[in-house]
Amino acid sequence: MTGRSVPEWQGKTPDTPVPPRVRDRVFTTKDGRCHKCSREIAANRGETWTCEHMIALANGGENRESNLDVTCSWCLPAKNAEDVAEKSMVYRKRTKARGIKGRRRTIPGRRFDGTPIPAKWVD
């Protein structure tokens, strides 16, 4: 990096959008490479990319520069899916730790405990 260092950007609220100058800074710091596939993003040829929160806000990540990274358009759907999966895993662990039981869904099928299958389920 050249020039003087600037203080880290931090969103005033989790909803504060990342300003263009910070996006530009993140892109520079990361050498314009996607954090997932480390491919160089051809932004100069119109390739789209996003400035993503490494730890999603939904998963308790902070809206600040150090939690931002570059994600290319190929990897974004995968990143979002991981965030959602992480969120539901965290939720499951938390509710379990707090003694909140989720609804147990039993799958109707053949019973192995000797209980006869109700007549309405048999052809």
Residues that bind Zn ion (CB under 5 A): 34, 36-37, 72, 74-75
- Measured distance CA(81)–CA(87) in Å, rounded: 10
Name the residue whose CB lies closest to Zn ion: 34
Least spacing, CB of residue 79 vs Zn ion, in Å: 9
- Measured distance CA(47)–CA(40) in Å, rounded: 10
Q: Based on CB atoms, which residue is closest to Zn ion, 6 or 85?
A: 85
**Token digits of residue 64:** 């600040």
Q: Based on CB atoms, which residue is closest to Zn ion, 18 or 34?
A: 34
- Measured distance CA(105)–CA(6) in Å, rounded: 53
Q: Based on CB atoms, which residue is closest to Zn ion, 44 or 106?
A: 44
Least spacing, CB of residue 120 vs Zn ion, in Å: 52
DSSP state letter for 77: H
Least spacing, CB of residue 101 vs Zn ion, in Å: 39
Q: Based on CB atoms, which residue is closest to Zn ion, 39 or 111?
A: 39
Least spacing, CB of residue 118 vs Zn ion, in Å: 52
**Token digits of residue 32:** 């314009």
C-alpha Rg value of the chain to the nearest Å? 23
